Chain A
Amino acid sequence: MSLNVPTMAEMMANGETPDVLFWVGCAGSFDDRAKKITKALVKILNHCNVKFAVLGTEESCTGDPAKRAGNEFTFQMQAMMNIQVLNGYEVKKIVTACPHCFNTLKNEYPELGGNYEVVHHTQLIQDLINTGKLALEGKQTYKGKKITFHDPCYLGRANDVYEAPRSLIEKLDAELVEMKRCKTKGLCCGAGGAQMFKEAEKGNKEINVERTEDALETNAGIIATGCPFCNTMMTDGVKNFNKEGEIKVLDVAELIANAAEL
């Protein structure tokens, strides 16, 4: 099935206004693994006939890694350029599959003139299910499977979103097993604060290995995440234990798209 991905510019040219802007983010646009998450979400949006659009080539980094690395200039340059584009299209609502983009757009853009309703993709999918636009009843793909959810720091502790991704896993009729450290006590995957883009400081262990141990303890066959960076870190962690044959690392959107056979 080919994807229907209208851009803001196209919509504008047709005199249409989307209900929601899908902010794809850099990982979702360029990283091969994260692109699959992007496509899974688009499949869901297409299936539910959500009127959305992307910025396409007009999108640019939110500036999150620059801000966390301490470069406020680069961050604000990015933020203000993005806000000009978003306000130019009169965007009201944004959905994103990246908790870092989510946090920055939602919390750090308002003071620079960008005021939008920003939701994480798990929240939007939850809404689609609750309003009956997406039905998962009787779907067997993950029935009874053990799934554990790794809380992305910028979704959980940073923004107090813990329930939306979990409610989606429960909708799969799967068995949700929690790691010993979860929700507010969840352990970071090691990618945040611009760590994704540099080598870790000297220590005796990689953070993603420490976190993967938590996940392995649950004996879950699937590690679910809601962040492209957590996904990378957990996938690498699973490889570190040579478990990539038994344990899959999947985004919640991928689980839903697979279960709904999209």
Chain B
Amino acid sequence: MIQIIVFALISIAGFGVFGYNIWKVRSNILLGRDIDRKGNSSERWKTMFLVAFGQQKMFSRPIPALLHLAIYVAFIITQIELIEIIADGLSGNHRMFYFALGGFYTFMISFIEVLSLLALIATFVFLARRNLLKLPRLNMKELMGWPKKDANLILIMEIVLVTCIFTMNTTDEILYRIGGSHVEHASGSFGFLISNCIADMLMPMFADGYPTSALELLERIGWWGHIAMVFAFLNYLPYSKHFHIVLAFPNTYFSNLEKKGKFTNMEVVTNEVKLMLDPSADPFAAPADPNATPQRFGAKDVQDLTWKNLLDAYTCTECGRCTSSCPANQTGKLLSPRKIMMDTRDRLVEVGENVRQHGKDYDDGKSLFSYISEEEVWACTSCNACVDECPVNIDPLSIIIDLRRYLVMEESKMPTELTGMLTNIENNGAPWQFSPSDRLNWAKED
């Protein structure tokens, strides 16, 4: 009975704190400007199914894709065992689904064990790629410090989780064989594929009348360890880059379905330009809403970005495919699209805390430009390689362009050559200093 109460309390706390953190993340994301990503739901579901569920874009790099797939599938399938653990925990039963599902149960747990083993191998390979092989994209300077620890911590948690599953299943198998199982009194075997093999190897140790108490303790450590790790993991997610396991799904659903070359149209500007071009326009005809706060041109801080940009930032798992494909980054420039996403998220977390503690209008004297330098913003060629690479359809380019818009339209800050280029366009309709009357000269030249 005490076990049930303890379990129930841990579960309520675990899910409760997770719920609170989700609410915090959601309210942070909603600090962003609105953008319409509703229509065309069949295309959206399809994108989510292929890109998030089917991991379509991962497979342009097959080795990490296969390793990642092992962990991903293991994670999804293990949820079935997790449901049993929760059901057992709340009802005080042991392996509730065993009799109900019969042979299918054996198959299912065996399947989970095989996937868990593959996931375990993948986890070790991932640790090696980060810490021994030192893959360039996993060892860039924006990852030093906390992001690197975060990545390793997640991998270690996964190892603990899988170890708990095997400890639980193996000790349970041995207990069953020597007649000490909680499932039934007669001795028998679960016959789960991998724990059965481990039990075979360990059985000689328990051959004659070995006390079952140590085994039971180990089994309980495995069981409680597993569920404790699950709740720890769940509540670590919102603070970690690993949150992509949840947000990849909404993020791909709300993908940009337009051609990548199409940049957003700024309607505020359209209205101004129409007034400028139309001599008969009456600027006083439709008075602006006196209560409306004027929208900033471009983005100075996270509130000027769209909620999709902010969702992107929380979804980023810092894999660095964007940065490794970025032409500016490859040629030694400061720009890293991954860093743009990480900076946006870190600033958003900071602004979110400020809003909750000091109210909506609090100014901490900082902005996105406290994190992202102008040099980074101007190094972008807008080639869309980062957008194309992202396995969960994050768009760093639209953030970069909104930062440029702020610099140019609010601060008039840009590289001097661009000032000249813009003046040329305004004066003579070309980015170079040529007379518009010479535009057709090529037709008469040899």
CB within 8 Å of B: which residues of A? Answer: 3, 5, 7, 24, 26, 28-31, 35, 38-39, 42, 54, 56-57, 59-61, 63, 65-74, 76-78, 80-81, 103, 106-108, 111-112, 153-154, 157-160, 184-185, 187-188, 190-207, 209-211
Contact = CB atoms under 8 A, between A and B. Distances in A.
A69 B297 CA distance: 13
Contacts, number: 214
B282 interface: no
Given A103-B261, A160-B259, A200-B333, A66 B409 contact: no
A7 B440 contact: yes
A112 B409 contact: no
23 contacts: A26-B430, A29-B434, A29-B441, A61-B429, A69-B421, A70-B406, A71-B408, A72-B297, A73-B269, A74-B425, A77-B273, A77-B276, A108-B263, A153-B381, A153-B382, A157-B383, A160-B259, A188-B383, A192-B381, A193-B380, A193-B383, A197-B418, A197-B420
Interface string B197-217: 000000000000000000000
B265 A111 contact: yes
Given A29-B430, A61-B431, A158-B260, 9 more contacts: A26-B432, A56-B440, A59-B429, A66-B421, A66-B422, A68-B382, A72-B266, A191-B381, A203-B328
B417 interface: yes
Chain B residues touching A, majority SS: helix
Q: Which among B260, B277, B297, B405 has the highest number of chain A CB atoms within 10 Å? A: B260
Given A77-B273, A157-B385, A201 B409 contact: no
B442 A35 contact: yes
A30 B434 contact: yes
A158 B383 CA distance: 8
Contact of B269 (A72, A157, A159): A72
A31 B434 CA distance: 10
Contacts of B270: 76, 112
B221 interface: no
Interface residues of B, number: 69
A81 B426 CA distance: 11
A184 B380 CA distance: 18
B415 A198 contact: yes
B407 interface: yes
Q: Which among B272, B297, B418, B437 has the highest number of chain A CB atoms within 10 Å? A: B418
Given A60-B429, A73-B269, A197-B417, A192 B328 contact: no
Nearest to A205: B331
Contacts of B331: 200, 203-207, 209-210
Contacts of B384: 153, 157-158
Contacts of B429: 26, 59-61, 78
A195 B381 contact: yes
B247 interface: no
B40 interface: no
Given A205-B332, A210-B330, A188 B381 contact: yes
A38 to B, nearest CB: 6
A207 B335 CA distance: 13
A157 B375 contact: no
